[in-house]
Amino acid sequence: MSTTSQAAVLCAYNAPLEIRTYPVADQPGPGEAIVRVEMAGICGTDVHLWKGELPIPIPVVLGHETVGRIVKLGAGVERDWRGVTLAVGDRITWASSIVCGECYYCRQKRQPTRCVARKAYGISYNVNDAPHLRGGYAQYIHLRAGSSLFRLPDTLPTEAVIGAGCALTTALHGLERCSVTPGDTVVVQGTGPVGMAALAVALHAGAEKVVVTGGPAHRLQAALAFGAHAAISIEEHTTPEARRAAVFAEVGPYGADVVVECVGHPSAVPEGLELCRDGGKFAVLGQYADAGSIMLNPHTITRKQLEVRGSWGFEPRHTDMALRLLDATDWKHKFAAQITHRFALAEVNEALETVKQWRSGKAVIVP
């Protein structure tokens, strides 16, 4: 084991990440773990962070989708989140966030994703604070006590876990809050990673038909390969009215039972309301960054008696479910196949640029 680790650090917004070197702790504290990173996913959120669209305590080591092998375990770390025995050398992943378990949202309202003290690897830790290595874009990561660790079974490739990334856990949480019932018709707005994951989750929940809207063409092809019944190009159907007509040609003249917004641009929300049938459901999963306001007619919500559900992040139990479903189904292969680009740690800026320009399926760093 090395005594130092390289890490890609976001030091200034919209500027290249810097590769810096930090010491790897000799011995992790009680409950902690030190992990050699095998693969780190580049999430769309990382691009938002890079652009400064979310407030974070830079300088920060990015990377919140990570698989690695345990190199050192602190006292008391004997089992993973599921109770499986852990040992040095085990391949693991972990839920990116840690919550306090004590605040108003954790305790009284059981909304842990809204914990007032929630911190996420690759997002919430200033690299200047020891032990420095709190992000996945690095050779080593130093995990806090209280992290939700998951030992990966040999049957589950690292590529499947990172190919699914936090998009899958986000979609599982979102469609838990806004559930698809067997037989439903579903529209997924957006064919980025969250859209692909929402498509997978909706199909798995027994949707009769899932229509996606998005682009570019290679993403629509990927959606069809994943099982979408129809894929509507936003490049071909350039207005909300045209897209609505194309969607209704697939789902019928009343609209879809469930619409899942995975776009991120505010305009997707009023457009999505119009794609729901009356009495239908609308999951707003994509509005992670604050991209501003949009004109929206709330009469639609009353008149169509809609159910609109937001969802933020995910809990460790969604990571558990994601890993179980990946291992038990053909998702294993389908999500692994999302990975189209691999980069060394030193190529991190090229990697981010690739994601920013929508050129990849899923891009990963192999540090």
Residues that bind its own copies (CB under 8 A): 81-83, 101-105, 107-111, 113-114, 177, 182-183, 201, 204-206, 208-209, 254, 257, 266, 269-270, 277-279, 284-312, 316-317, 320-321, 324-325, 328
Q: In this structure, are residues 210 and 189 in contact, taking their beta carbons and an 8 Å threshold?
A: no
CB of residue 157 to its own copies, shortest distance in Å: 19
Q: In this structure, are residues 41 and 67 in contact, taking their beta carbons and an 8 Å threshold?
A: no
CB of residue 320 to its own copies, shortest distance in Å: 7
Q: Helix or strand or coil: residue 87?
A: coil
Comparing CB distances to its own copies, the nearer of 57 and 310 is 310
Comparing CB distances to its own copies, the nearer of 146 and 216 is 146
DSSP secondary-structure letter at 312? -
Q: Distance between CA atoms of 213 and 231, rounded to whole angstroms?
A: 6
Q: Distance between CA atoms of 337 and 57, rounded to whole angstroms?
A: 34
* CA 343 to chain CA mean position, Å: 19
CB of residue 20 to its own copies, shortest distance in Å: 31
* Total number of residues shown for the chain: 367
Residue 242: Cβ within 10 Å count: 13
Comparing CB distances to its own copies, the nearer of 45 and 233 is 45
CB of residue 206 to its own copies, shortest distance in Å: 5
CB of residue 195 to its own copies, shortest distance in Å: 15
Respond yes or no on whether the N-terminal peptide bond of residue 59 is cis (omega within 30° of 0). yes
Tokens of 98: 């840690």
**Residues whose CB falls within 8 Å of the CB of residue 102, separated by 6 or more in sequence, listed in order:** none
CB of residue 277 to its own copies, shortest distance in Å: 7
